[in-house]
């Protein structure tokens, strides 16, 4: 219920009215103003206290105690305040703020202190203040403080910003400036009261009242509201329209009786407002008013009001406040004159309906929602013999139809039951006639009335669509069912006759061409079911448009003459539009009932299979004549009866020359009698032979042919012909020979390839086993072939391989085999050896032959070979084992230093196998992302600055955990995987430097480079490409470390590569310096900028004078050659102190940090502090 004083928000919840809210807001404003004055007074008092403390420093102890008590008091006061309080200095810097300020503006504890108070103002407010200020500031650099100082009083309502720069709310802001006791401007005190919620409540109140007024005015139901004084507060537009009384005249009066009565009297809304008892209500309204009996009292009634000339339905209810007190009442009045008239019309309509139903010739009855009979018309009485008087008001309408009580169809329609329930009682005899409505119809035989009945049941709905009754009609269809049964028996006999002819499509049609019959054969032939065509025009369905006119003439002639038409071949049309050839005829048959009546039938026989057979014969003849294979046909005795054109072209014999002869005239003499006997045996057993035969042309030339011979049987399975198909394969044979050459020989060197090697090795093993001799399988791989190929080009590489092949062939005997497997890999089979020494001497000859220089054009190059040898029978007895062991021995030769041979050894093979498995597992781990980089910081220990980090690879093994480089790096460095791992480490380190740089951390990283990786011709180019890909890092951040011992082996090559990389800006360091016994000349020629003292010297220098002397010497060398020096393995504070004294400022080791994951490095860098002992160390003069 709604009143003028209270506005509902949600079920059971109310808020104060607008006037009440305004009073509360004014009171809150007075409270805030008083609090502001209190705060200002308190602040001034604090100033006086502070001035007194300063003036009386001699009594500091007493004043301090007082100040502490006062400060605690102020702190408690400020903490208890709900409004924000901010104190600034003269420049607008916040020096104090209470807890409410932090809470309202979203700042953490003390986060406001030291920031400009202007950041709390929205930009537009700050800009407006700044525009209003004079050009020269008077008291402060802060716009807000200057504005406050320029006014006598500052009290504004505006937004304040939170820490995120977003609006924290709407505040009432007051501010006062304060001075010292000497009158000096000390700053401002700002208070801010958040009244965002109050504004929202006020707005909600206005919107709620607006919505209420709109709801009342927009209601189509006339209604009005009165207050406790019975004065009208609302009189909506519908009320105006119905009564003709404008709201302007009614609001504020007690005249709500006037539109309805001739003289003043209480309305129903007055009775409800006063809470009158039932007797008082009866006094004025009698029994026309009803109490709804709900939790809140609601009275309703109806009556005719002569003053309005209308029948009115009225409802009155009380409106209560949140405490349940009645504060107003509302009454709605609705004109239901039309409804009353509709009720009278309905009664008249029911009377007419009853007369119509009783006059209907169709038996029908109606039941109401309670399944009681309301109509049982006269036709129903006649059919069932039961009077309406007996049936009306009962539920016995089943009795005329069934022997015992059961639901009728009308009951199920009334209840809207599921169709499955209907099917339970009626089976398939009942179906839903209208899918969108519950209208069911069916038929059946009823023994109680001995009749076939057709029944239909349908619901009867009210104006809202609700089912309120149901009606069922019942009709006697006994005569129709008997006629249908006779017709069905006749049709069954007739249909059985026609259906027995499955190969003849029969269509019955009327004089107008309309289809009356369509048998199964017609369905199969034309694709239409009988249901689709019955009643359709025959000619429109199956006769193509071009033939239709002639077909119409033929039908008219048949109908007119009543004579059958002879058969003719036609092309008729199927359902899918395709044409079918039929032999078609028409028959005219008299009916059984009357000879004067005839029936017309069309009979079509499908000729498709006959046509296809004819086409197959024609096609076979065409294929026979035009086939590219020679074809020969003989009789069962083998006498040629026909040949085709290709036969003549291949053999040179004409057709006339061979017909009547036996095919043996083509024999070449290359096959014996057993071959031909086997051939005919296969044909006799399987009816077919396919193979290769050599025959002779008429010219005498022998040629190969691929031949197929098939036996042809008659229907009884007796052979009547043989058919031979053959093709000349002379060209194919020549190509096969060329392909065999290509398949078994290497096209570059003309040596046997892997396939021919396998054959020869198998033969050689068989021979060696048979003759008990020794056989050696030697696996050879060139050393240094790839650099030559990369440097001089593939053509030079191919030339080198050819020369190697020639030298290998010159080193072995004629019965030995030299084969090329591919690339720079060769295999030498040494056959018929008497001793192992004989095989080793052959291996030595091979190495000596290959060590001589090779001429490649104008250049001369030198290569060597690594050879592995396995001997039969000691190292293997089958080809695969022998070659595998030779390969493993070759790998051992590679590991042993190259340019040598190695004989297979089982224990060494086991270690090599483990080595290979580990290498393969490293490759898999690299692909699977199991590797990562740890970083060990490098520090300038003299000043405590982090100068970089060394990248150290780690293997996150899924089973063994984190593995250090010692567990796997040795197998990688001498393998082709060295470059792959090196490239990954370089790329990962550069990527990590870029990530750190993006986070604000610039940290150079050093990466260890293996000799094999560094020797790649394109190493500098690959580094350049990686730097270009990670463009956010500087080249000088990357430092490459190479072992001193590695650099000594190829000093010229390494010097060139280092120089190329330094051109890019990359730095180089010599790792483990002092272990390579290098001369000063090498140090001078290697362009590395940094020397790393090997950790073995650093670790022992505190105890070993020798190691200390080496360290001192290396530091001296670095100084002489102007190279940076860094010490590895600094494990204690004492190591660092001694290094500083010796003049080495850069160090890394466990005393500084252990290697760590990349994500831990930034935090470590921020936290690093030099040990105190290092900060005071001085350098000793050397």
Instruction: Output the CA–CA distances (angstroms, integers) from residue 594 to 586, 598, 1134, in the order listed.
Output: 20, 8, 136
Please say if the pLDDT value at position 1 is more than 50: no
Q: Into which CATH architecture does domain 745-904 fall?
A: 2-Layer Sandwich (3.30)
Q: What is the pLDDT of residue 667?
A: 92
pLDDT band at 3 (very low <50, low <70, confident <90, very high): very low
pLDDT band at 955 (very low <50, low <70, confident <90, very high): very high
Please say if the pLDDT value at position 71 is more than 70: no
Please say if the pLDDT value at position 491 is more than 50: yes
Q: What is the pLDDT of residue 61?
A: 56
pLDDT digits (tens, 9 = 90+) for 275-297: 777 777 777 776 667 776 544 56
pLDDT digits (tens, 9 = 90+) for 407-456: 888 888 888 777 777 777 776 667 776 545 678 888 888 887 788 888 88
Least confident residue range of 328-332, 398-402, 635-639, 800-804: 398-402
pLDDT digits (tens, 9 = 90+) for 682-735: 999 999 999 999 999 999 999 999 999 999 998 888 999 999 999 888 888 887
* CA-based nearest residue to 392, from 363, 368, 362: 368
Does the global pTM surpass 0.75?
A: no
Domain with CATH 3.30.70.270 in the chain: 745-904
* CA-based nearest residue to 187, from 94, 90, 51, 121: 90
The superfamily CATH assigns to domain 632-734 is: PAS domain (3.30.450.20)
Please say if the pLDDT value at position 1136 is more than 90: yes
Pick the CATH number of 18-200 from 1.20.950.20, 1.10.3720.10, 3.30.450.20, 3.40.50.740: 3.30.450.20
Q: Which residues, listed in sequence order, are joined to residue 860 by a DSSP beta bridge?
A: 855
Q: How far apart are CA 1076 and CA 1114, in angstroms?
A: 12
**What is the pLDDT of the chain when averaged over all its residues?**
84
Least confident residue range of 143-147, 199-203, 896-900: 199-203
pLDDT digits (tens, 9 = 90+) for 609-629: 888 877 777 777 777 777 788
1083 Cα distance to chain centroid: 60
Domain with CATH 3.20.20.450 in the chain: 921-1175
Q: Which residues, listed in sequence order, are joined to residue 7 by a DSSP beta bridge?
A: 15
Q: What is the pLDDT of residue 1065?
A: 93
Mean pLDDT value of segment 76-97:
84
Please say if the pLDDT value at position 1038 is more than 60: yes
Pick the CATH number of 503-611 from 2.120.10.30, 3.30.450.20, 3.40.50.2300, 3.10.580.10: 3.30.450.20
Least confident residue range of 11-20, 189-198, 636-645, 663-672: 11-20
How much of the chain exceeds pLDDT 70, in percent? 86
pLDDT digits (tens, 9 = 90+) for 191-217: 998 887 777 766 766 676 677 677 777
875 contact partners, CB below 8 Å, separation of at least 6: 881, 882, 885, 886, 904
Q: What is the pLDDT of residue 702?
A: 92
Query: Could you write out the DSSP letters of every residue in 24-68?
Result: HHHHHHHHHHHHHHHHHHHHHHHHHHHHHHHHTGGGHHHHHHHHH
Please say if the pLDDT value at position 819 is more than 50: yes
pLDDT band at 56 (very low <50, low <70, confident <90, very high): low
Higher per-residue confidence, 425 vs 1149: 1149
Mean pLDDT value of segment 352-378:
84
Q: What is the pLDDT of residue 2?
A: 33
Q: What is the pLDDT of residue 682?
A: 93
The superfamily CATH assigns to domain 219-335 is: PAS domain (3.30.450.20)
Mean pLDDT value of segment 231-245:
88
Tokens of 507: 């269509």
Contact 453, 428 (CB under 8 A): no
Q: What is the pLDDT of residue 933?
A: 97
Q: What is the pLDDT of residue 1182?
A: 45
pLDDT band at 66 (very low <50, low <70, confident <90, very high): low
* CA-based nearest residue to 666, from 709, 694, 696, 638: 696
Half-sphere exposure of 855 (CA within 13 A, CB side): 2
Q: How far apart are CA 185 and CA 1019, in angstroms?
A: 72
Please say if the pLDDT value at position 755 is more than 80: yes
Please say if the pLDDT value at position 274 is more than 70: yes
Higher per-residue confidence, 882 vs 447: 882
Mean pLDDT value of segment 72-94:
79
Please say if the pLDDT value at position 906 is more than 90: no
Q: How far apart are CA 725 and CA 650, in angstroms?
A: 12
Q: How far apart are CA 208 and CA 652, in angstroms?
A: 113
The superfamily CATH assigns to domain 921-1175 is: EAL domain (3.20.20.450)
Q: What is the pLDDT of residue 36?
A: 57
Domain with CATH 3.30.450.20 in the chain: 18-200, 219-335, 345-476, 503-611, 632-734
* CA-based nearest residue to 75, from 63, 85, 65: 85
Q: What is the pLDDT of residue 1142?
A: 93
Q: How far apart are CA 693 and CA 672, in angstroms?
A: 11
Q: What is the pLDDT of residue 45?
A: 59
How much of the chain exceeds pLDDT 90, in percent? 35
Q: What is the pLDDT of residue 833?
A: 92
pLDDT digits (tens, 9 = 90+) for 588-605: 887 655 556 788 888 888
pLDDT band at 310 (very low <50, low <70, confident <90, very high): confident
Least confident residue range of 6-15, 818-827, 886-895: 6-15
Rounded-to-5 percentages of helix, strand, coil across the chain: 45, 25, 30
Q: What is the pLDDT of residue 868?
A: 94
pLDDT band at 358 (very low <50, low <70, confident <90, very high): confident
Classify 345-476 by CATH class: alpha beta
Q: What is the pLDDT of residue 231?
A: 93
CA distance from start to end of the chain: 104
pLDDT band at 490 (very low <50, low <70, confident <90, very high): low
Least confident residue range of 40-44, 165-169, 1019-1023: 40-44
CA angle, corner 670, sides to 664 and 676, nearest 5?
Answer: 50
* CA-based nearest residue to 192, from 124, 93, 103, 111: 103
């Amino acid at each position: 219920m709604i009143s003028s004083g209270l506005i509902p928000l949600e079920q059971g919840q109310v808020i104060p009215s607008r006037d009440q809210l305004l009073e509360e807001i004014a009171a809150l404003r007075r409270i805030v103003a008083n609090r502001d004055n209190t705060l200002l007074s308190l602040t001034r008092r604090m100033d006086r206290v502070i001035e007194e403390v300063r003036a009386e420093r001699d009594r500091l102890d007493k004043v301090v105690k007082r100040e502490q008590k006062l400060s605690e008091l102020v702190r408690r006061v400020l903490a208890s305040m709900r409004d924000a309080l901010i104190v600034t200095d003269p420049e607008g810097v916040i020096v104090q703020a209470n807890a409410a300020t932090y809470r309202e503006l979203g700042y953490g504890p003390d986060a406001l202190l030291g920031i400009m108070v202007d950041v709390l103002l929205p930009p537009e407010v700050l800009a407006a203040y700044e525009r209003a200020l004079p050009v020269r500031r008077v008291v402060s650099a802060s716009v807000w403080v200057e504005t406050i100082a320029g006014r006598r009083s500052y009290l504004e309502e505006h937004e304040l910003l939170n820490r995120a720069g977003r609006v924290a709310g709407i505040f009432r802001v007051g501010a006062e400036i304060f001075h010292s006791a000497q009158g000096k401007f000390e700053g401002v005190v700002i208070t801010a009261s958040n009244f965002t919620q109050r504004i929202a409540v006020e707005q909600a109140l206005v919107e709620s009242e607006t919505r209420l007024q709109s709801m009342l005015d927009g209601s189509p139901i006339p209604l009005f509201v009165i207050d406790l004084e019975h004065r009208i507060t609302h009189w909506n537009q519908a009320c105006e329209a119905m009564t003709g009384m404008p709201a302007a005249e009614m609001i504020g009066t007690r005249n709500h009786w006037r539109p309805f009565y001739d003289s003043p009297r209480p309305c129903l809304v007055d009775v409800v407002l006063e809470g009158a008892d039932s007797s008082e209500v009866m006094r004025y309204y009698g029994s026309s008013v009803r109490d709804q009996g709900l939790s809140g009292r609601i009275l309703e009634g109806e009556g005719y009001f002569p003053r309005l000339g209308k029948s009115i339905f009225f409802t009155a209810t009380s409106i209560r406040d949140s405490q349940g007190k009645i504060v107003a009442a509302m009454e709605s009045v609705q004109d239901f004159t039309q409804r009353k008239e509709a009720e009278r019309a309905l009664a008249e309509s029911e009377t007419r309906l009853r007369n119509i139903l009783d006059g209907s010739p169709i038996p029908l009855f109606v039941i109401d929602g309670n399944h009681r009979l309301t109509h049982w018309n006269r036709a129903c009485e006649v059919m069932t013999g039961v009077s309406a008087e007996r049936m009306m008001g009962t539920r016995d309408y089943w009795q005329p139809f069934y022997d015992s009580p059961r639901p009728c169809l009308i009951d199920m329609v009334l209840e809207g039951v599921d169709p499955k329930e209907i099917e339970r009682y009626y089976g398939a005899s009942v179906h839903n006639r209208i899918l969108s409505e519950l209208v069911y119809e069916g038929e059946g035989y009823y023994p109680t009335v001995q009749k076939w009945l057709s029944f239909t049941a349908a619901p009867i709905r009210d104006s809202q669509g609700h089912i309120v009754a149901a009606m069922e009609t019942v009709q006697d269809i006994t005569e129709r069912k008997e006629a249908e049964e006779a017709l069905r028996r006749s049709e069954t006999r007739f249909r059985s006759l026609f259906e027995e002819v499955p190969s003849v499509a029969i269509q019955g049609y009327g004089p107008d061409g309309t289809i009356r019959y369509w048998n199964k054969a017609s369905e199969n032939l034309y694709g239409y079911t009988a249901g689709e065509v019955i009643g359709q025009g025959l000619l429109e369905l199956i006769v193509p448009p071009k033939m239709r006119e002639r077909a119409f003439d033929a039908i008219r002639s048949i109908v007119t003459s009543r004579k059958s038409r002879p058969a003719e071949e036609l092309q008729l049309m199927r359902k899918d539009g395709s044409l079918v050839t039929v032999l078609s005829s028409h028959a005219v048959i008299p009916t059984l009932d009357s000879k004067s009546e005839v029936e017309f039938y069309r009979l079509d026989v499908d000729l498709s299979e006959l046509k296809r057979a004819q086409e197959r014969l024609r096609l076979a003849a065409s294929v026979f004549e035009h086939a590219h294979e020679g074809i020969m046909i003989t009789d069962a005795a083998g006498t040629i009866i026909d040949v085709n054109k290709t036969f003549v072209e291949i053999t040179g014999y004409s057709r006339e020359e061979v017909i009547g002869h036996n095919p043996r005239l083509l024999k070449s003499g290359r096959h014996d009698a057993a071959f031909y006997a086997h051939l005919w045996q296969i044909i006799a057993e399987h009816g077919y032979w396919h193979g290769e035969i050599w025959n002779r042309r008429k010219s005498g030339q022998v040629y190969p042919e691929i031949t197929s011979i098939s036996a042809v049987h008659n229907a009884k399975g007796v052979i009547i012909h043989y058919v031979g198909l053959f093709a000349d394969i002379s060209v194919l044979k020549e190509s096969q020979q060329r392909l065999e050459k290509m398949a078994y020989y290497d096209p570059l060197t003309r040596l046997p390839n892997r396939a021919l090697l396998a054959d020869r090795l198998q033969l050689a093993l068989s021979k060696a086993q048979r003759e008990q001799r020794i056989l050696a399988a030697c696996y050879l791989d060139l050393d240094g072939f790839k650099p030559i190929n990369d440097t001089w080009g593939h053509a030079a590489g191919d030339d080198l391989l050819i020369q190697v092949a020639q030298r290998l062939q010159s080193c072995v005997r004629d019965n030995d085999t030299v084969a090329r497997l591919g690339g720079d890999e060769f295999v030498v089979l040494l056959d018929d050896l008497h001793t192992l020494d004989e095989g080793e001497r052959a291996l030595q000859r091979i190495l000596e032959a290959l060590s001589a220089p090779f001429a490649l054009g104008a250049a001369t190059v030198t290569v060597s070979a690594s050879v592995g040898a396995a001997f039969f029978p000691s190292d293997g007895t089958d080809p695969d084992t022998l070659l595998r062991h030779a390969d493993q021995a070759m790998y051992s030769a590679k590991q042993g230093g190259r340019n040598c041979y190695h004989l297979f050894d089982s224990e060494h093979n086991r270690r090599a196998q483990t080595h290979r498995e580990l290498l393969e597992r490293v490759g898999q781990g690299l692909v699977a992302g199991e590797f990562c980089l740890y970083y060990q910081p490098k520090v300038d220990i003299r000043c405590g600055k982090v100068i970089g980090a060394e990248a150290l690879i780690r293997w996150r093994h899924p089973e063994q955990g984190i593995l250090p480089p010692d567990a796997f790096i040795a197998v990688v460095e001498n393998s082709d995987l060295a470059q792959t791992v090196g490239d990954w480490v370089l790329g990962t380190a550069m990527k990590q430097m870029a990530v750190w740089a993006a986070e604000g951390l610039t940290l150079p990283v050093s990466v260890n480079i293996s000799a094999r990786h560094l020797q790649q011709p394109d190493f500098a180019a690959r580094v350049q490409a990686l730097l270009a890909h990670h463009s956010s890092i500087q080249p000088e951040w990357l430092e490459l470390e190479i072992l001193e011992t590695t650099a000594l082996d190829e000093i010229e090559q390494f010097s060139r590569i280092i120089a190329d990389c330094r051109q890019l800006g990359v730095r180089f360091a010599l790792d483990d310096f002092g272990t390579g016994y290098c001369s000063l000349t090498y140090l001078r020629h290697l362009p590395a900028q940094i020397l790393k003292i090997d950790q073995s010297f650093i670790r022992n220098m505190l105890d070993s004078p020798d190691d200390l002397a080496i360290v001192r010497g290396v530091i001296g060398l670095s100084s002489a050659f102007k190279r940076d020096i860094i010490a590895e393995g600094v494990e204690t504070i004492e190591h660092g102190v001694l290094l500083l004294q010796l003049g080495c400022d850069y160090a890394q080791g466990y005393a500084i940090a252990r290697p760590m994951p990349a994500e831990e490095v930034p935090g470590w860098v921020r936290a690093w502090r030099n040990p105190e002992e290092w900060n005071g160390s001085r350098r000793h003069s050397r």
